[in-house]
Structure 1
């Protein structure tokens, strides 16, 4: 157990979570459908589907919407989504990994490439930046679930590898193949997690000044506004002082 790390949330800035509700629900529905198609359409028997449903509930997605997304997976026809990963560099050489679920590979590739090129970035080939990240499991709980020491002890008992606590949340990192086992143990100790997913954690990070951070956030926002894009991971850090400056 590495203990409390100083590692900051590198998925994307918190403001990105305030995206339009309809777009957010579309992304959540897509993940639920894909998860249900890849395994059993029962959250209790399908860890990925369970995580997707929990994520949807955490965002107050209506039960009818969740069930409709599951039903799509079991009915004939409908959209077939493909998981695609794009890699590239943003402003100031920040490494970015974009995870997408799409029913049209050409459309998504064009949109992602355009987003990079118009916002100070460069889309690279597969493997261009992923070697600088570790593929891990990530379990997230809201800060209100307990103080950092309590969560740390629960994570240690569950077999997690690291914990990052902030004023907003607790991030619990696990080995990739131990994700659902650790999540199950944590659920018994802390209750349902806000999210359970595979994540990319950078081995090193780049500290950004205000101008570069502003340009990077614009690129991430453009990517995040695309319904096909599920998650954007990066190896950047932005200090509280710079965040305050950016407002």
Structure 2
């Protein structure tokens, strides 16, 4: 059987995969499954809160289908429930989703050769979880010729699970009173911890994460979630300042 051997084994086990489209797709789907566990309660909660905020079932499902950005969807639903104007909703969710521009820039060398239809599809599905799966895969070495299908596997798996959880939450959330008090939103925190911590392998990365975390807590009361943007900028700056001397020393 033809196998992809152009990447190094992971630290835990030797990774081999078929280089076929289906093989790469299934590998991407498999590697995404552990992160879905943390997204399930998050999706259920969004479905319930969407309906509770006054959205219809179809409007709630439509937001997950067209937006597909968990944190931004929660913020939008909260602002809708509070009666905020459309301008405030758009601006606030834009600030929250600016991190996806960083994700895209990071993966640009991997997808720049793909046709436009592929780049649009993968950009739409570039969630935090999918980005984490792709980084871990790239840590093992370059993608094979059908590597785009690995990326597609992560996107389709995460997208499908998010839609299903939204539907279940919207349908049955009203039968579970005070669902928003169950603490299910902690699943988002746990999910992000699971995504970020394994990627912190060097001192500049740890310092950047710590600086961003401190600023995020300190600036959490800023309007329109501007604290998130400020924390991102500080984390990037710290990481670059500390990483540059390390690169120069290595050279």
Looking at both structures, which has the greater relative contact order when contacts are Cα pairs under 8 Å and sequence separation is at least 6? 2
Same fold, judged at TM 0.5 (above):
no
From the CA coordinates, give the structure whose radius of gyration is larger: 2
Q: Which protein has the bigger helix share?
A: 2
**What's the TM-score once normalised by structure 1's chain length?**
0.26
Q: Which protein has the bigger strand share?
A: 1
**What's the TM-score once normalised by structure 2's chain length?**
0.26
